[in-house]
Amino acid sequence: MTAASAGRYRGVANVDDSFSEEELRALHEGGIRGCRFNFVRHLGGVPDMAVFDRVVARVARLGWHVVLHFDAQDIESHVGFLTGLPVTYVIDHMGRVPTKDGLDQEPFKRLLNAARMDNCWVKICGAERISSKGPPFTDAVPFAQAILDVAADRALWGTDWPHPNIKKHMPNDGDLVDLIPLFMPEPWLQRKVLVDNPQRLYGFSS
């Protein structure tokens, strides 16, 4: 789909070290600008880190970023390797920190510390995944705002449609869109997160 869009679309791929340089280059020319690694337990847990390191080294040459999907309780144990990553990385779903544990929970503090690093981006999506109260997921608002306070230039938003692996509350996407002005009431901040930041990260020219 990205390749057929004549440059209008960008994407993130799941790749491993079986991909040849030619295959990675073809993905790049087709609009892929990043690769994703799941560390969460329900999707298999920590990947083979030797494979991870090899893939990161190769995609770094293409200027790609790496999307990292963590369970909240594992953020602390991964902070060490995050500081040494040679690429821009994006932490998905606000680190999956449960809202019921509050803004002072240790995993969220670690997430905010990571977000202060110049090569760390955070997706302020997944409100339905971190919410402890359920729809319309407004208990996620202070968490998104805290992330924006430290990394407004490196925050992304999305709905995560079609919402794979949801076990509790399958969200109405309208509820998720309605969170935008609660996360970021200011029009300039909405433009930054919804337009300017993804344009910069994904390499759109305008």
Q: Do 195 and 202 meet the contact criterion of CB atoms below 8 Å apart?
A: no
Cα separation values, 174 from 43, 54, 159, 161, 163, Å: 27, 40, 9, 11, 13
Residues 6+ apart with CB under 8 A from 204: 10, 198
**Rounded to the nearest 10 degrees, what angle do helices 106-115 and 75-82 cross at?**
20
Query: Catalytic residue numbers?
Result: 160
**In this structure, what token pair is assigned to residue 86?**
């040679």
Phi and psi for 103 in degrees, rounded to 5? -70, -20
* Phi, psi of 53, deg, nearest 5: -65, -40
- Tell me if residue 175 falls in helix, strand or coil: helix
CA-CA distance, 92 to 109, in Å (whole number)? 16
From 162, 117, 163, 171, select the one nearest 140 (Cα to Cα).
171
